[in-house]
Amino acid sequence: MLSVSGLTKTYGDVEAVRGIDFEVADGEVFGLVGPNGAGKTSTLKTLAGLLEPTSGEVVVNGYDAGDPEMRRTLGFLPEESPLYEDMTPRSYLRFFADLYDVDRETADERIAAALDRLDLDARDRPVGDFSKGMKRKVAIARSLVNDPDVLVYDEPASGLDPTTTNVVIEFTRDLAAQGKTIVFSAHDLHHVESVCDRVAIVSDGRIAAKGTLDEIRSAHGRVEYRAFTDVEVPGAERVEAERGDRARYRVRVDSMAAVDDVRERARAAGGDVVDIRTRESTLEDVFLAVTGGAE
């Protein structure tokens, strides 16, 4: 369980975080996203106990985020995570297990389980010889050696190939199914949309939207209807015909009543509506809407 209440963080005259509130339940993956400079990274570092909040409260599994004991119950994966490249994955992960006072037998069991699930077989080669994806898997395994209840993952799949990305996403789902509390952040909103139960979009230091994907779409998105006709009507754009059919035209409207209007215009021109498709706002659409198009 993790809770954030009234969190603020200032750097001199700069207000990076301006009163953020959210809770994450056991077994939940909570997405925290925002454009560069929105306050997201400051929030994540505060959750991990790396920054002291200017005001507000952050409680991680019953501990204040500033309590050193909290770190025993937390696993943190920063966006940039340099490794000790002369060490092998096995020795590297054992080293971090020792820092958490995990006994060797338990540590080896956890290390093997994590690397098995992450499909990393090269365990006795220097990490410096690894690809970026392999290094990221080692960093993820490092976040688990203390068997934390709460995980904060910042860009866990950044820059990885599709196969490795899929392994990381599926592994995150597995961790949630085990009851872990997970805060997940990524610039690739498709990753967030595919793995998160709820999402908060941060803009200018505040939460601009929060909820399940359906709740966010309902509050900030829209449904677009695309009516395809077999004759040209006002406002239509020509699209390629399918399977040798007649030319088709597409009209984008925002209601079924407007689709009926398109049908009437098509029939008046000697044709008809031959297909209707709907498109709901994606998380990216909502992100751009609530952040003013910031990237």
Whether the full predicted model's pTM is greater than 0.95, yes or no, is no
- Predicted local distance difference test score (pLDDT) of residue 218: 86
- Predicted local distance difference test score (pLDDT) of residue 292: 80
- Predicted local distance difference test score (pLDDT) of residue 242: 61
Residue-wise pLDDT tens digits, 187-209: 999 899 999 999 999 999 999 99
Per-domain residue ranges of the chain: 2-211, 222-281
Q: Which residues of the chain have pLDDT under 70?
A: 241-246, 293-295
- Predicted local distance difference test score (pLDDT) of residue 65: 94
- The CATH code of the domain at 2-211 is 3.40.50.300
- Predicted local distance difference test score (pLDDT) of residue 160: 86
Query: Which of 41, 56, 59, 53 minimizes the C-alpha distance to 150?
Result: 59
Q: What is the DSSP string of the chain?
A: -EEEEEEEEEETTEEEEEEEEEEE-TT-EEEEE--TTSSHHHHHHHHTTSS--SEEEEEETTEETT-GGGGGGEEEE-SS----TTS-HHHHHHHHHHHTT--HHHHHHHHHHHHHHTT----SS-GGGS-HHHHHHHHHHHTTTT--SEEEEESTTTT--HHHHHHHHHHHHHHHHTT-EEEEE-S-HHHHHHH-SEEEEEETTEEEEEE-HHHHHHHH--EEEEEEESS--TT-EEE--STTPPPEEEEEESSHHHHHHHHHHHHHTT--EEEEEEEEPPHHHHHHHHTTT--
- Predicted local distance difference test score (pLDDT) of residue 244: 56
Bridge partners (DSSP) listed for residue 31: 184, 199
